[in-house]
């Protein structure tokens, strides 16, 4: 059973009221997304608020917005944000991102999206919202970002391999470009399980690399340590 909270170096994430607890995917995306020169960020489906909080820690000039459809998760994200040193730079919104109409565009949009497309739903409604493409499809994400992202901005997501390939294929048909792709391998001998994807509407140099999580159980690889060392207590 997951703990009621997850302690990072500079903040604590309470998660007892959230369907989706702190996991490797969220930490990877929060640490990996390129925030260089970014002034405004949007975190779609923020859950506990983790990625928005990580972004605020990483970039002291950044204003982060975060939106969450589930009212219970929204309340917990608000609690988590208000217990950080960066609460004045993080603003939370409750509702569907499809109807979200801010008065500005974003330099970076991040999303650790629902990824189950055609699979059995869980009986827990809030967990289904978080894990299945029921209220936020991949096409929805791309369409929303078309409107909310600055023309030079970046969209960053993390997905399992099959869903990532589907997302990339869909994005290319809608005239997005893949600027960076990072394959996430559990160990040096296992194939990738996740892809971190950076997209934009402006064609740029395509970069592809990889991250390895562990050398063996609980012995972390240098690439993972380098990426996440500012956050995890024991790295």
Tell me the torsion sign for CA atoms 158, 159, 161, 166: negative
Q: What share of the chain is helix, strand, coil (3-state, %, to 5)?
A: 30, 30, 40
pLDDT grade, residue 128 (50/70/90)? very low
CA distance 43 to 45: 6
- For the CA atoms of the chain, what is the radius of gyration? 17
- Give the other-Cβ count within 10 Å of 126's Cβ: 17
The pLDDT of residue 137: 93
DSSP annotation of 113 reads -
Which two structure tokens, joined as six digits, stand for 201?
A: 């509407």
User: pLDDT for 65-91, tens place per residue?
Assistant: 999 999 999 999 999 999 999 999 999
**pLDDT of residue 120 exceeding 50:** no
Residue 64 · residue 90 · CB < 8 Å: yes
Residues 90/95/97/98 CA torsion (nearest 10 deg) = -160
Residue 57 · residue 11 · CB < 8 Å: yes
The pLDDT of residue 234: 87
CA distance 2 to 10: 20
Residue 168 · residue 142 · CB < 8 Å: no
- pTM for the full model? 0.91
Mean pLDDT of 142-148: 97
The pLDDT of residue 134: 66
**Residue 161 φ/ψ, nearest 5 degrees:** -55, -50
DSSP annotation of 9 reads S
**pLDDT of residue 118 exceeding 60:** no
CATH number of 5-151+161-177: 3.40.50.150
For residue 29, what are the CA distances in angstroms to 1, 52, 53? 24, 10, 12
CA distance 100 to 42: 11
pLDDT grade, residue 135 (50/70/90)? confident
Which two structure tokens, joined as six digits, stand for 161?
A: 């391999």
The pLDDT of residue 34: 97
Nearest Cα to 56, choosing from 77, 32, 40?
40
Q: Is 162 exposed, middle or buried (0-12, 13-18, 19+ CB in 10 A)?
A: exposed
pLDDT grade, residue 131 (50/70/90)? very low
**pLDDT of residue 35 exceeding 70:** yes
For the chain, the structural domain boundaries read 5-151+161-177
The pLDDT of residue 119: 45
Please tell me which residue, 123 or 61, carries the higher pLDDT value.
Answer: 61
The pLDDT of residue 2: 61
User: pLDDT for 172-230, tens place per residue?
Assistant: 999 999 999 999 999 999 999 999 999 999 988 899 999 999 999 889 999 999 999 99
At 149 the three-state DSSP class reads strand
């Amino acid at each position: 059973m997951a703990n009621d909270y997850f302690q990072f170096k500079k903040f604590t994430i309470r998660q007892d009221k959230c369907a989706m607890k702190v996991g490797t995917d969220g930490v990877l995306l929060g640490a990996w997304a390129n925030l260089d020169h970014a002034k405004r960020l949007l975190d779609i489906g923020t859950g506990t608020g983790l990625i928005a909080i990580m972004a605020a820690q990483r970039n002291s000039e950044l204003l982060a917005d975060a939106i969450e459809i589930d009212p219970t998760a929204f309340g917990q994200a608000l609690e988590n944000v208000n217990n950080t040193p960066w609460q004045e730079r993080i603003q939370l919104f409750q509702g569907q991102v499809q109807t979200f109409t801010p008065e500005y565009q974003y330099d970076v949009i991040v999303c650790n999206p629902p990824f189950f497309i055609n699979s059995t739903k869980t009986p827990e409604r809030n967990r289904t919202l978080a894990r299945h493409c029921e209220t936020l499809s991949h096409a929805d994400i791309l369409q929303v970002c078309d409107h909310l992202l600055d023309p030079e901005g970046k969209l960053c997501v993390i997905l399992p391999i099959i869903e990532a390939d589907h997302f990339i294929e869909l994005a290319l048909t809608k005239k997005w470009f893949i600027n960076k792709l990072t394959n996430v391998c559990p160990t040096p001998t296992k194939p990738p399980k996740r892809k971190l994807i950076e997209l934009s509407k402006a064609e740029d140099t395509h970069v592809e690399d990889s991250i390895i999580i562990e050398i063996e159980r609980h012995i972390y690889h240098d690439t993972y340590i380098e990426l996440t060392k500012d956050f995890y207590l024991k790295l």
